[in-house]
Amino acid sequence: MSTSECPPLRLQSRLREGRPFPLGATWDGRGVNFALFSASAKAVELCIFDSTGETELERIFLPEHTDEVWHGYLPDAEAGTVYGYRVHGPYEPDAGHRFNPNKLLLDPYAKGIVGELKWDHALFGYTIGHPDEDLSFDERDSAPFMPKSRVIDPAYTWGLDRKPDIPWDRTVFYEMHVKGFTRLHPDIPEKIRGTYAGLAHPAAVDYLTKLGVTSVELLPIHHFIDDSYLVDKGLKNYWGYNSINFFSPDLRYSATNTLGEFKRTVARLHEAGIEVILDVVYNHTAEGNENGPTLCYKGIDNDSYYKKPKDNPRYYINDTGTGNTLDTTHGRVIQLVTDSLRYWAQDMRVDGFRFDLAPILAREEHGFDESGSFLDSVRQDPVLSRVKLVAEPWDLGPGGYQVGGFSPGWAEWNDKFRDTVRAFWQGEDGKLADMAQRITASADCFNKRGRKPWASVNFITAHDGFNLRDLVSYNEKHNEANGEDNKDGHSDNHSWNCGVEGPTEDAEINALRLRQMRNMLATLLLSQGTPMLLAGDEHGKTQFGNNNAYCQDSEISWLDWAAIDEGNKHLTAFVTRLIALRKRYPILRRSRFFTGELDEEAGVRDVTWYNPSGQEMTPGDWDDSNARCLGVLMDGRAQETGIKRPGQDVTVLLVLNAYHDVVEFKLPSGVDGKSWDLLIDTNQPDLEEGNGFRFNSPYAVTGRSLLLFSLDYTNED
């Protein structure tokens, strides 16, 4: 069926031509300019609703069409106006067109959203159950079931707000969920728990400040949709990786139902010296495949927005596993994404972005290209090139694994660090050489084209998979609460339950679990690169074995602050101490990769590797698949630059022992009259600093434990 004929134009006398830019709805104090891109539409109706979004008041055809943009100016419209679009054009799925003016559509550039989506068959452009499936045409009005767009007043008084501008080498990411972090916090007022305002509360901000993290990385807050199959099961898309709009903060996390609440939260975090990083999902939308609903892009210009097989554009390329893939090689889609990023960076003042399934954004027709259209557009942008850019460097598409493959200026999640560190502490064979690479910023992946160690974003756990407590408590996933018969989620987790599956009263096992947690947290925060800590790991949060809690808007995911016992408080103090050490000693966060070469001026090497006998590692040591203990000496006297920084001369020795048994590790030689100061022993979490250990003396390293020694050549004993 086709609706390619233009309907009669019903131009209201008060409606003016307006401008084709900027895209979206822009209030200028006297009226609103509406502009919508669609390359193949025949006409566009602007639909005005009452303030609740429930009653449609009138429909007005946009009068002008310039450079594939439909536009008009409504002089009597104000900020707060609620609206949507109905777009006329051909309904020819076999040709890639799915226009259906019976379906009310969100504005892709809407900066405010009113109402929630209510799942109904009327939301679909085709008639569900029809023998022609998605080739059929549905004439029911979807407006009663759709959220609506709202015109905003962008004015906000930021006062003295300044972005913290944390240097990369000092950055410590803290991945968190706005609701999950605050929902059960006893010191946050009940009415603002689970909201942006809750995150801005002094109890939340003070905790983050005392912990020492520099940058909160928020799981998606772009307006998103709860999948119908989850709603049918009484569940929700808790993580939020199902965006339908890239400009509006989702107001389900708002206590006041205002945009200003999010801005106030950013300002409060900035005041505390904490950056705000957004996890963004520009690789797909909530409209799914050919059997999905028509909510926005599909009904505005399906052929432009989505990638489709050239030989059969009825269907969608599905590099995301969600049904569709946004076409970020199309100029207008690139514009949409970069306009969105600039809006958040400038108007909302966020400090950076983590890009979900980022290779999709760089995939051209010939495959992944680190100089592809989107990445080039970001690289040359005077705003976006200056914020923190972090890629999740893998997806399901061809050539989808790209760790180390992004261009200079980008940091990347490093799953090689995650998997190697987990496997090493679990006691797997042959991990010593790989471990050496990972704790020195994975130079094998990132040391090229002038990239720096910070390009490796190191993590042990993230929102996806086991959290840290469960990593040492479960061998198998336990996702029964998700309603998929435990078939969802990863099965290969490099986890080890230390002898018993799940909770136990066995004191010895619980002690080992806590030490393993400290081992991995210490490895994370004492390694070169940029560390990312998962919220809750610092005080032993459990998800009861669920490694795919994407649909668990419940106690499974929320941080249970009241349940933090004394043992977990000690773990939090341990993490705080690790972060403080990282900040204190520049050698733990170098801005250049280690070379292992002799510094002729200082007469030392920047890094030296030792075996337990106190001798430098040999090829035979590295090749020994049974070896599970090594030391790495990082010498602060091997200067990176001529600029001296406090603590830069300090040398540190990191010792890692993944054996079950105690290892007598002979401390390397140094300068007469000096001694090693033991800073960290994961078998002694409450260790006081200042214990001196002489050179060439053996130290009994407990089985499965990590040590950190320091040596300050600038001070006498």
Q: Which residues are catalytic?
A: 356, 392
Peptide bond into 22 cis (omega under 30): yes
CB 54 within 8 A of CB 25: no
CB 674 within 8 A of CB 713: yes
Q: In whole angstroms, give the CA distance from residue 46 to residue 36.
A: 10
Contacts of 276 (CB under 8 A, 6+ apart): 215, 216, 218, 265, 266, 269, 270, 349, 350, 351
Q: Is 628 exposed, middle or buried (0-12, 13-18, 19+ CB in 10 A)?
A: buried
Distances (CA, A) of 286 to 103, 110, 324, 340, 625: 16, 16, 9, 17, 47
Q: In whole angstroms, give the CA distance from residue 304 to residue 87.
A: 14
Q: In whole angstroms, give the CA distance from residue 361 to residue 49.
A: 35
176 Rama sector, left if φ>0, alpha if ψ -120 to 50, beta otherwise? beta
CB 212 within 8 A of CB 171: no
Q: In whole angstroms, give the CA distance from residue 393 to residue 401.
A: 6
Q: Is 400 exposed, middle or buried (0-12, 13-18, 19+ CB in 10 A)?
A: middle
Distance from the Cα of residue 277 to its chain's centroid: 8
Q: In whole angstroms, give the CA distance from residue 581 to residue 589.
A: 10
Torsion, Cα of 44, 50, 54, 59 (10° steps): -20
Distances (CA, A) of 100 to 45, 49, 141, 227, 490: 12, 19, 10, 22, 39
Q: In whole angstroms, give the CA distance from residue 435 to residue 415.
A: 13
The one-letter amino acid code at 165 reads D
* Of 290, 297, 284, 279, residue with least CA distance to 243: 284
Distances (CA, A) of 266 to 118, 152, 261, 292, 337: 31, 19, 9, 35, 21
Q: In whole angstroms, give the CA distance from residue 187 to residue 205.
A: 12
Collapsed DSSP state (helix, strand, coil) of residue 552: coil
The helix or strand, by DSSP H or E, that contains position 486, with its residue range, turns out to be none
Q: How far apart are the first and last CA of the chain?
A: 87
Q: In whole angstroms, give the CA distance from residue 284 to residue 303.
A: 14
Q: Is 515 exposed, middle or buried (0-12, 13-18, 19+ CB in 10 A)?
A: buried
Q: In whole angstroms, give the CA distance from residue 257 to residue 197.
A: 11
Q: Give residue for tokens 């893939």.
A: 325
Q: What tokens does 194 get?
A: 């689970």
Cα Rg of the chain, angstroms: 28
CB 38 within 8 A of CB 97: no
Distance from the Cα of residue 100 to its chain's centroid: 35
Query: What sign results for the dihedral spanned by CA atoms 631, 592, 596, 693?
Result: negative
498 Rama sector, left if φ>0, alpha if ψ -120 to 50, beta otherwise? left
